[in-house]
């Protein structure tokens, strides 16, 4: 079986991506990054999804991005916006996050002799993050193909972003067909320790709108409004 | 003063790079990565060099690459070669190391609103690592300029690799002119806790040959042969 490294946050998009990679026949090596994110509960969700979707292995690697801060997700003094989605890149943007995560995936892929990395970025129903765009993914792939011993020895690495041009509703429909249990995924930027969602942050709003548009009952576990 | 992020390992090349960036007038934010490297003593050397060369700030960020292994520097069960430099990429190559380090530098640069990253890679007297080549650095820069909020807002990021086409002797001569105290740098792949060098690994050999070619007495602190 061909090995692939799958970046798995524990949210809806990356769980769907893992299910797609499994469905395409890859042996899936799921990688989660503990970057001191505010919503650390997503890592427990990642663990569950890796097991339920059938990853061959799941690793959590720590890199403390709170050392740099600069984002509502890595600096607790910056509040997560809950007033609705606004134009522009929000304060939940984490500087260079996808670049750091893809770099770690690249390292593991090389050790595994894998030539395939999957990432659940999406450029339709998303928050305008620069590192979710197709041109960014293409540039990372090009760089990666100059970066490694494997590349020099002639093996071509591919970055797969199977959700990149799907709407949130299309992602959900695809995941449902593949049997993903979305009740166990955590998308909320300020999920509590039990993984219960706030229902008000941008990520909760995009997710809820997706279930509505997909005409699927929203299985998200919300916490009681406080 | 314009801010720059300088990747500082504690070795000869990165110390020289820091001195060059200071000499060019940058306020230098030195970044060291604790990746569970065998030669952890280089981090203490980095601390000293940041202070003696005059960095504005020095941070050490942890990312545990021993979770992946695949290199003599991150897996203690793989021995560091000491028989002399051979053709090909040696087992001291760490998968995706420079990509991971540059990604972390990119994150800090964005938070600092800096547009300049310095890295001490060298493609002349080096060990043949793929991520030390000019085409790799250019591809990383291109990717970085699509990756961040800062890039989308129009600020251009530059990756500076001032040593890339210098010989080890030329690097040493330049550092001497800038007052770098090489006795405090640690290049050895298996330096002991006190920072004493083995004198036999590829990194020690390249370094020693550099001092010889530069006609400068070698100030390296070697340990007694055991």
Cβ distance B103 to A95 less than 8 Å, yes or no, reads: no
For residue B122, the Cα-to-chain-centroid distance in whole angstroms is: 9
Cβ distance B62 to A64 less than 8 Å, yes or no, reads: yes
In this prediction, what percent of chain B has a pLDDT beyond 70?
A: 100
What is each CA distance from B215 to A17, A170, B15, B177, B221, in whole angstroms? 57, 67, 19, 14, 18
pLDDT in tens, B87-120: 889 999 999 999 999 999 999 999 999 999 999 9
Sign of CA dihedral B85, B89, B96, B158: positive
Strand order in the sheet with A3-7: A57-62, A27-34, A3-7, A116-118, A158-160
Hey, what domains does chain B have and what are their CATH numbers? Answer: 3-214 (3.40.50.620)
Cβ distance A96 to B59 less than 8 Å, yes or no, reads: no
pLDDT at B152: 87
pLDDT in tens, A120-150: 999 887 778 999 999 999 999 999 999 999 9
Q: What is d(CA A62, CA B139) in angstroms, rounded to the nearest whole number?
A: 26
pLDDT at B226: 57
Q: How far is B103 from chain A (nearest CA, A)?
A: 5
pLDDT at A226: 57
Is the pLDDT assigned to residue B69 strictly greater than 70? yes
Is the pLDDT assigned to residue B177 strictly greater than 80? yes
Token digits of residue A37: 């994110």
Token digits of residue B44: 């203490």
Chain A residue with Cα closest to B141: A143
Q: What is the pTM of this model?
A: 0.96
Spell out which residues of chain A touch residue B110, defining contact as CB-CB under 8 Å.
70, 95-96
Closest CA relative to residue B123, chosen from B112, B114, B134: B134
Spell out which residues of chain A touch residue B161, defining contact as CB-CB under 8 Å.
none
Sign of CA dihedral B35, B38, B44, B48: negative
Token digits of residue B143: 């990717």
Per the prediction, chain B carries an average pLDDT of 95
Q: What is the mean pLDDT of residues A174-197?
A: 96
Which stretches of A56-167 are DSSP H helices? 97-112, 134-147, 149-152
In this prediction, what percent of chain B has a pLDDT beyond 90?
A: 89
């Amino acid at each position: 079986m061909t090995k692939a490294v799958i970046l798995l946050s524990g949210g809806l998009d990356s769980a769907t991506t893992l299910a797609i990679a499994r469905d395409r026949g890859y042996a899936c090596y799921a990688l989660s990054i503990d970057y001191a994110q505010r919503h650390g509960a997503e890592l427990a969700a990642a663990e569950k999804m890796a097991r339920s979707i059938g990853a061959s292995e799941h690793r959590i690697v720590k890199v403390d991005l709170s050392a740099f801060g600069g984002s509502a997700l890595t600096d607790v003094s910056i509040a997560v916006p809950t007033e609705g989605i606004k134009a522009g890149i929000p304060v939940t943007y984490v500087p260079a996050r996808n670049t750091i995560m893809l770099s770690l995936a690249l390292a593991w892929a090389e050790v595994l002799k894998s030539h395939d990395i999957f990432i659940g970025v999406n450029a339709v129903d998303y928050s305008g993050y620069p590192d979710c765009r197709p041109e960014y993914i293409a540039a990372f792939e090009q760089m990666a193909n100059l970066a490694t011993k494997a590349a020099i020895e002639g093996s071509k690495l591919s970055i797969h972003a199977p959700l990149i041009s799907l709407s949130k509703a299309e992602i959900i429909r695809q995941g449902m067909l593949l049997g993903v249990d979305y009740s166990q995924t955590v998308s909320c930027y300020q999920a509590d320790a039990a993984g219960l969602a706030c229902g008000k942050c941008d990520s909760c709003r995009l997710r809820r709108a997706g279930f509505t548009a997909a005409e699927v009952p929203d299985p998200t576990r919300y916490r009681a409004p406080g």
